[in-house]
């Protein structure tokens, strides 16, 4: 190949690499920006729906007309798949007020595009066992982007129709994606009978990779009726 041919080849190669770089940058911009826009819209819509539902009179237990469940009693029936049923607050990382996230029932791809998802079959807020919630860390609103900043004792608050459930972080760990035992009612022991009320958050680790899972485990500290006001964790007391 002549010198002119080499220069032509290198020039063409350089232009091709620049084009590929632009394509990759545009794809990254789409993944980060446009997926966030989609999720934010879904969250706003779901928040309006759930708050509208909560504003309606609470359903009465079957067979006991005219009575209402205790405000601190865990939900007895699982939410409908794909529906929002709670809000998750994490004061340490700024997930409060308008930035609190709606939690949906289900962890399919479409569910997690809308926000954090509750693993069907795991405990519900306030129940004995292990409530497991998964969320994206870098795209689709990245609700769990900063959960690595949580410290032991930090509050994770779940808001339901009538109750504030305040959990406190007790452990943070990094595991393989195949380490499903962190989701057991008694983490690490499939056959044990649960006695604690746990909350487990899972997300990808490190950021922009699915090589590992970051797992945060918290234990229920208190259940406060919403009629009594905000819990201390959301009032600047021990957040």
pLDDT for 2 equals 73
Identify which of 157, 167, 169, 155 has the alpha carbon closest to the alpha carbon of residue 217. 169
pLDDT for 27 equals 45
What residues are labeled active site? 136, 204, 213
pLDDT for 64 equals 45
pLDDT averaged over consecutive 10-residue blocks of the chain (239 residues)? 62 57 47 82 96 85 47 67 97 96 96 96 97 95 96 97 97 96 96 97 93 97 96 76
Superfamily grouping for domain 33-57+69-234: Sortase (2.40.260.10)
* Three-state DSSP string of 153-182: CCEEEEECCCEEEEEEEEEEEEECCCCHHH
pLDDT for 63 equals 43
β 155-159/163-175 pair status: antiparallel
Number of other CB atoms surrounding residue 159 within 10 Å? 22
The radius of gyration computed from the CA coordinates of the chain, to the nearest angstrom, equals 22
pLDDT for 23 equals 42
pLDDT for 33 equals 73
Every domain of the chain and the residues it spans: 33-57+69-234
Judge whether 85 and 112 are in contact, CB under 8 Å.
no
pTM: 0.82
């Amino acid at each position: 190949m002549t010198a002119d041919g080499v220069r032509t080849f290198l020039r063409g190669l350089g232009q091709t690499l620049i084009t590929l770089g632009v394509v990759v940058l545009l794809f990254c911009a789409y993944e980060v920006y446009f997926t966030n826009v989609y999720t934010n819209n879904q969250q706003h819509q779901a928040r309006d729906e759930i708050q509208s539902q909560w504003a309606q009179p609470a359903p009465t237990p079957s067979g006991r007309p005219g009575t209402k469940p205790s405000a601190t009693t865990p939900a007895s029936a699982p939410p409908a798949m794909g529906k929002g049923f709670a809000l998750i607050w994490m004061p340490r990382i700024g997930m409060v007020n308008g930035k609190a996230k709606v939690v949906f029932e289900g962890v399919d791809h479409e569910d997690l595009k809308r926000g954090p998802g509750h693993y069907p079959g795991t405990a519900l807020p306030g129940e004995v066992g292990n409530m497991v919630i998964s969320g994206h860390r870098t795209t689709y609103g990245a609700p769990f982007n900063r959960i690595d900043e949580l410290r032991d004792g930090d509050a994770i608050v779940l808001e339901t129709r009538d109750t504030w459930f305040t959990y406190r972080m007790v452990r943070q760990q990094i595991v393989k994606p195949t380490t499903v035992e962190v989701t057991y009612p008694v983490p690490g022991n499939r056959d044990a009978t649960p006695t604690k009320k746990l909350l487990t958050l899972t997300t990808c680790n490190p950021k922009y990779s699915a090589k590992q899972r970051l797992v945060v485990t918290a234990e229920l500290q208190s259940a406060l009726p919403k009629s009594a006001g905000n819990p201390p964790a959301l009032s600047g007391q021990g957040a």
